Copies of this chain bind each other. A is one copy, B any other.
Amino acid sequence: MNYPSKLIEDAVVEISKLPSIGKKTAMRLVLHLLKQDPDVSIALAESLVNLRTKIRYCTECHHISDRAICSICEDDKRNQHTICVVEDTPDVIAIENTLQYNGLYHVLGGLIAPLDGISPSDLNIQTLIKRVSQGNVKEIIFALSATMESDTTAFYITKKLQDFDVKISTIARGIPVGSELEYTDEITLGRSILARVKYQ
């Protein structure tokens, strides 16, 4: 693509580094910003710099936080005996949006993936074990995606926690609400039969 200005080229290149945004979309966004008041671009730029330079992570659960301890860990009204283990921050947000869970979280910051060079020491597993070892935790719930890496990670953590008196569970796999039986893949359908629950 021919760029009429070096400034435009720079902006297009930077914007198109974002996931799912190509050069054409980036160009469209650039031309949009050029039509707006300069304050719009400046506010956007400032929010991005602040986001990346001022953000902090909760020292307890590793969730994103404005302070040393996040609002979830700080909340006395939440169940302090249950920890939901998730892969990353978006998972906490997704579970919070369900309004069905009232315990604490622990963000691993990834999954064990030897092929990608991610070993247990790269994840927040040691801090999870420390939290459990303090004796206040009664249940660990794995809320991980249904992948090989998730299974490996859950298995590794379970092994590490076997000496503690803590119940370990995982979120239910089954047929999503609203989806049709005949189009469900066999593994999910098979698991949902094996893991059937009492009716009413």
- The interface of chain A, by Cβ under 8 A from chain B, is 1-8, 10-11, 13-15, 17-20, 25, 27-34, 38, 40-55, 63-66, 70-71, 88-90, 92-93, 96-97
Q: Nearest residue in B to A30 (C-beta to C-beta)?
A: B51
Interface of chain A: mostly helix, strand, loop or mixed: helix
Q: Are B41 and A51 in contact (CB under 8 A)?
A: yes
Question: Which of B7, B25, B64 is the one whose CB lies under 8 Å from A5?
Answer: B64
Q: How many copies make up the complex?
A: 2
Residues of the B chain whose Cβ atoms lie less than 8 Å from the Cβ of A43: 14
Q: Are A2 and B97 in contact (CB under 8 A)?
A: yes
Q: Are B44 and A4 in contact (CB under 8 A)?
A: no
A20 to B79, CA, bound (A): 40
Q: Are B51 and A44 in contact (CB under 8 A)?
A: no
Q: Nearest residue in B to A70 (C-beta to C-beta)?
A: B4
Q: Nearest residue in B to A46 (C-beta to C-beta)?
A: B45
Q: Which of A3, A13, A71, A93 has the most CB atoms of chain B within a 10 A radius of its CB? A: A93
Residues of the B chain whose Cβ atoms lie less than 8 Å from the Cβ of A65: 4-5
Q: Nearest residue in B to A58 (C-beta to C-beta)?
A: B4
10 A-B pairs within 8 Å (CB atoms) are namely A3-B93, A6-B66, A8-B55, A10-B50, A11-B50, A14-B44, A17-B40, A28-B90, A33-B48, A44-B48
